Amino acid sequence: MRLLAELFLSFIRIGLFTFGGGYAMIPLIERVCVDKKKWISHEEMMNITVIAESTPGPIAVNCATYVGLKKKGLPGAAAATVGVVFPSFCILLLISFFFDRFLEIAWVASAFRGIKIAVGILIVDAAVRMLKKLPKKAAPICILLCSFGAMLLIDLFSLHVSTIVLLLAAAGVSLIVCLVKRQTGKGTQR
Amino acid sequence: MIFLELLTGFLRIGLFSFGGAYAAIPLIREVVQSYGWMTDEKLSYMIAVSESTPGSIIVNMATYIGSAQAGVPGAAIATAAVILPAFLIVVLITALVKKVIQNEVFQSVLDGMKACMTGVILATGAYMILTNCTVRTPAVSADAAAVVLTAVLAAIYFGSRKVRRNGISPIVLICLAGIAGVAAYGWK
């Protein structure tokens, strides 16, 4: 029980004191779970990062679930996950109650017209960061160009094609490429 | 029914957002548009708010959108739905199939999906900048103030990395953009 409460409280702290979400949360998670509480080893933390990168959903949730599960099974995973989400939930709930009225103030509306521009820049920046981490091989680069073009067309002409269709197509293509490579790779080796 | 829409919409987002916060944005945008929950303009405001408040950006957006659509229960459903896939997948991976992650075929499929997501995010960002910099009245023309703001803010944001290793943080950029917005579009 004490460990459950500790997991819950530690992850509330992580959820409350990290700005920017995603990978920005990993250093604090490491400081708390590896250095201070010694719940997991440094290698495990590296593993978690790989798992978080390979699985969908919020990275903080991936990490919290893993650490909680490791220390106290399913109840631990639930305690850590609920903890890491809890501050966000409360704060955004509060904001949602007055945000529309807040936007009616003239200078706030002006500020957000500027902020909207910053968001465009941040999204492009996020994409460029991901781009740098991609393997420099033909298949990923082709997929990237195709999905970029397809998504632009979808936006410009308001087409009703889901991003999920693009994702699944990309998964299918890379599966085929990988399997074909394996086959031919085996062929030339012999 | 709104609760069911929130549930399925955010499950979809939680299940397909590979690559962290910004990977979820195109998916969130798609779901929000398909149900007509929010304009693109409002959505980009919420991205800024979610970036500037603590915690996971995806969770922040789910809570806000859920609450705006259906109050506290809506917020709870959207938040739970967006984290549920991540939770279950990590539980499954640690319980059963740790080797899967290191599997070569799995990794190349994942690389393909990440490449696709990168293209989608890049297109989303480019399209946002494009719509920011144009006005429709209804003929499309350039919004001079927005073009200047975009150029200046991008120069500051990316230029700051030449001066300091990590450059300025997204929150600082958002604050600067807010001040620039007030300067450009007026106090009253």
One pLDDT digit (tens) per residue for chain B, 188 residues: 899 999 999 999 999 988 778 889 999 999 999 999 999 889 999 999 998 888 899 999 999 999 999 999 999 999 999 999 999 998 888 876 566 667 788 888 888 888 998 999 899 999 989 988 998 777 888 889 999 999 999 999 999 989 888 788 888 899 999 999 999 998 87
Q: How many domains does chain B have?
A: 1
Residue B88 in domain = yes
Q: Output the CA torsion A14→A18→A20→A21 (10° steps).
A: -10
Residue B83 in domain = yes
Give just the sign of the alpha carbon dihedral B63, A59, B20, B151.
positive
Cis peptide before B138 (omega within 30 of 0): yes
Residue B141 in domain = no
Residue B167 in domain = no
Chain B residues whose beta carbon lies within 8 Å of the beta carbon of residue A173: 112
Q: Which residues touch A66 (CB under 8 Å, ≥6 apart)?
A: A48, A51, A77, B90, B94
Closest CB to B17: pick one of A56, A120, A126: A56
Chains A, B: CB pairs < 8 Å? 389
Q: What residues does each domain of chain A span? A: 2-102, 134-190
- What is the least distance, in Å, from the CA of B3 to any CA of chain A? 16
Residue B76 in domain = yes
Residue B133 in domain = no
Residue B99 in domain = yes
pLDDT digits (tens, 9 = 90+) for A91-126: 999 999 999 898 899 999 999 999 989 999 998 998
Q: Which residue has the higher pLDDT, A23 or A148?
A: A148
Residue B45 in domain = yes
CB B90 within 8 A of CB A65: yes
Range of the domain at B95: 2-103
CB B121 within 8 A of CB A141: no
